[in-house]
Structure 1
């Protein structure tokens, strides 16, 4: 039975990693403290959108200026615009917020207690806070946005200038700042001053020679037979690390890789670009592609210009299937192409089709798979009645419906997630994750099933969705977007252990996993680091 993981080495580590891309900084030289806010980014891409439920992508970290160690980390649901350290009390004021895309400028005024580590939201109603500044021990000056978009001509150039006073901010209760206190003077406010550039320069100055470029979202990670570690991440098509922890090579990219398929001397990388729209303007990006690179130096060996974003399914013998994830622009649902690439070849040799793909319904990346597995829904309502299907690429490619995604009756609305295949060749079984919509929330699950008829052996449930899964015949390791890593007995689903992964005393969230060797677990984190962990054996099982 595996022990809980021990982090042996951290690849891609650097100061202020915990907060991601910096957005606001406040330095208190007297206290030897730097408060740095930033964003880690989302957990979704065009091939998978199921892991974001409950995810808070923004962070406020408190660091010592002497050793740059993170002493405190607080999550935020909304972007952080401004931070300010109280002149005398152990408090930090934090202004957050964003336009909700429909009508309201929502946000919070947070107070972080540096002694307890707790934060509290001070405003009774949501309101975007653009700037915080302590005028004195009693007076906090705020720049707050309008409540809504009724006056769009000045929303980007004006804000309310407000001063809120309390005799003792440490004793001020949660939700005690009322809207009537925020009716200040409507003044010009340049939102371009909220640019991350100033925060980035400050962070670089604090980090000095130990600093480095911002890293985010390690989407996939693999251990190579020669001891190196291969990964793809935000802004990096692929990178390789030597066994001694030094960087071997790196291929930068505007967007970065999303999936890796490793072969003997090369690897396929899925670069799933997609066009995004912001405030009605289309943000340009190069077309998506899938590329084959050399493991020796990252050189491009060949490229498949698919013309649309895809998700990759693999078969253990080397077959690849590239399923389109492009959104449908037509009124009626349309079949979407699936391109098939044979082993040891680099161009599609056959094409078939499946129903439309939704990143919020159909993600189903299965590791160690003996078949090319996907989820497919109804022809006219693809999000409903989803089945696990297999595409047989031998001969004329056809898809076979194996069993429904849902094993209960009446059926629920289930969404897919990552999985692995286990078992001997004559009796393969599938362990897969997913979520079930329940009322206004979701329930996550891990389930082991027969790959023949979908019969269920065991089910493990959780409150928040899984981000990654891997394992072997003994243990299944599942990472959740809360930062928790759970080891389940592969035979019956009972819990060996559950832990929040930590680096330097602070929790990290795993986005990708690989059990690369017995006892060695590679973990790619949302903050751009790669953890090389050992998972040994223990004499007895820990109670769940």
Structure 2
């Protein structure tokens, strides 16, 4: 969240959100929160980082928007576009109702004040006044349930943590950046945690934290070993194997998979360059490692297909990621079930994500589409049990799909004590309940039956 402002008369809150995506785009939303009903409207026609919001009157809202991207503009991180949008009744504004022409404004210098310290002091004081202690928790990127009922999680500022069935935290391994992935090791007593390798802008330069992977004892939270890496990567699990797929390194040379476990590391086959926007494909419950890879090394985002790592260490392309030849699909989470892959993604469109442009699809390992479920919002996480696919979406929805035909078994908007929440990760625990990690740092236990 970048800025917020209460309407002078209506029970309405304007919220500006967004951030730089680390590639070249500034993305976010203008949210209109109806305080009487809890309904939320995303009012902009396409993603824009909203740096500031201010009500000039009952009818006029002043917006400061970041540039769309910094592709050809090295000054983009210090600039903004100021526009004043007028409506007779802001309570009646609908989804994407503000036109692009209303946002047209020249770029000018714009401050990006850091209000974090002031906000933390305010929250600490409010909690103390209620006899409680406040601590910052954000974005639970991974959750895993254990046979004994404990729950493991990775989140911003925490490489890994363990929670007891009683709801008490058993141990925590703190980290400046935090964990992004958790993969149980083959010994059953430790877990691999992938630390985020984040780039931060300092002046006109970018600095990135050193990439690393740690193996942590499940019982005590002791860091057993740390793998220092020259290039960061994403963990890919399948069967008893754990694979590191490298991100693009110096010169963006095609990378090789690294296969590792308790006995050390072994170089695997060349997998091609990694494209951040295209190659995300974390497959749960996989019998073997799966990756997305392009057909040509110099254009990794084009003609990408789903490939599997064979037991002999070779990569075999199974089928194209997009089952519609003329469409380009971005990658997303996946789960293997019944000799099939169920995965989520979005269809690329030059005007942004279109209605029905996100999907969950089930395909057999020869590429045949068995069913597809279309939606307006990208999925953030998938998991499955024997007969149901569970999908979390960035709209805050949780949906259970029949694994056999893709029909909706149940659908709910995630709430905690009446307040909307958004799931970033989920996992079906060994004893059948659903674990959900949220954007605001919560770990929820939900029933899989509605």
TM-score bin, normalised by smaller chain: 0.7 to 0.9
2:346 match? 435
Over residues 146-179 of structure 1, what are the superposed CA-to-partner deviations in whole Å (9 max), with x where a residue is unaligned? 9424xxxxx36xxxxxxxxxxxxxxxxxxxxxxx
Return closer, same or farther for 1:322/1:535 CA change in 2, 3 Å cut-off. Answer: same
Q: Which entry has the higher C-alpha Rg, 1 or 2?
A: 1
Matched pairs, number: 428
Q: CA deviation at 1:194?
A: 5.5
Task: Report the Cα distance in structure 2 between the residues aligned to 1:115 and 1:248, rounded to whole angstroms.
Answer: 48
SS in 2 for 1:201: helix
- Using the alignment, how far apart are the partners of 1:122 and 1:447 within structure 2? 33
Match of 2:167 among 245, 249, 253: 245
Match of 1:353 among 270, 273, 279: 270
Q: Deviations over 1:283-336 (max 9, x none)?
A: x343111110111232210111121111111112x2111010125635xxx321
Cα RMSD, aligned residues only:
3.9
Distance 2:102 2:279 in 1: 37
Find the aligned partners of 1:211 and 1:109 in 2 and give their Cα distance: 40
Quote the offset at 1:350 in angstroms: 3.5
Pairing 1:400-479 to 2, within 5 Å after superposition: 400-408=316-324, 410-423=325-338, 428-442=339-353, 443-451=357-365, 453-479=366-392
Aligned to 2:215: 292
Give 1:372-387 correspondences, 5 Å limit.
Answer: 372-379=289-296, 380-387=298-305
Runs of 5+ unmatched residues, structure 1: 1-18, 65-69, 128-145, 150-154, 157-190, 538-544
Counterpart-to-counterpart distance in 2, 1:117 and 1:456: 41
Change (3 A) 1:481 1:294: same
Aligned in 2, Cα 1:511/1:194: closer, same or farther, shift over 3 Å?
A: closer
Aligned positions of 1:329-340 closer than 5 A: 329=251, 334-340=253-259
User: Are 1:266 and 2:190 an aligned pair?
Assistant: yes
Cα–Cα, structure 1 residues 45 and 259, in superposed 2: closer, same or farther, change >3 Å? farther
Give secondary structure in 2 for the equivalent of 1:258. strand
Q: Deviations over 1:66-101 (max 9, x none)?
A: xxxx97867685345466899xx9x99776543554
Q: Secondary structure at 1:329's aligned position in 2?
A: helix
Contact 1:78 1:107 in 2 (8 A): no
> Displacement of 1:465 after TM fit?
1.5
Normalised TM-score (structure 2): 0.81
Secondary structure at the residue paired with 2:120? Answer: helix
Q: Deviations over 1:1-39 (max 9, x none)?
A: xxxxxxxxxxxxxxxxxx6xx86688x9xx9x9989686
Tell me whether 1:527 sits opposite 2:440 in the alignment.
yes
- Give distance in 2, aligned partners of 1:113 and 1:444: 34
Question: Partners of 1:205 and 1:75 in 2: how far apart?
Answer: 31
Deviation at 1:337, TM superposition (A): 1.7
1:514 and 1:306 map into 2 onto residues whose CA distance is 28
Against the structure 1 CA distance between its residues 59 and 356, is the aligned structure 2 distance closer, same or farther, given a 3 Å change threshold?
A: same
Question: For 1:12-31, what aligned pairs fall within 5 Å after superposition?
Answer: none
Structural mapping, 1:50-61, within 5 Å: 56=28
Measure, in 1, the Cα distance between the counterparts of 2:420 and 2:220: 33
- Which whole-Å CA distance do the structure 2 matches of 1:254 and 1:471 have between them? 32
Q: Whole-Å Cα distance in 2 between the matches of residues 114 and 227 of structure 1? A: 51
Distance verdict in 2 for CA 1:92–1:536, change over 3 Å: farther
Gaps of 5+ in 2: none
CA separation in 1, counterparts of 2:399 and 2:311?
35
How far residue 239 of structure 1 moved from its aligned partner, in angstroms, is: 1.4
1:79-98 to 2 correspondence within 5 Å? 79=50, 81=52, 96-98=64-66
Measured in 1, the distance between the counterparts of 2:162 and 2:256 equals 32
User: Normalising to structure 1: TM-score of the pair?
Assistant: 0.68
| Structure possessing the higher relative contact order (Cα contacts under 8 Å, 6 or more residues apart) | 1
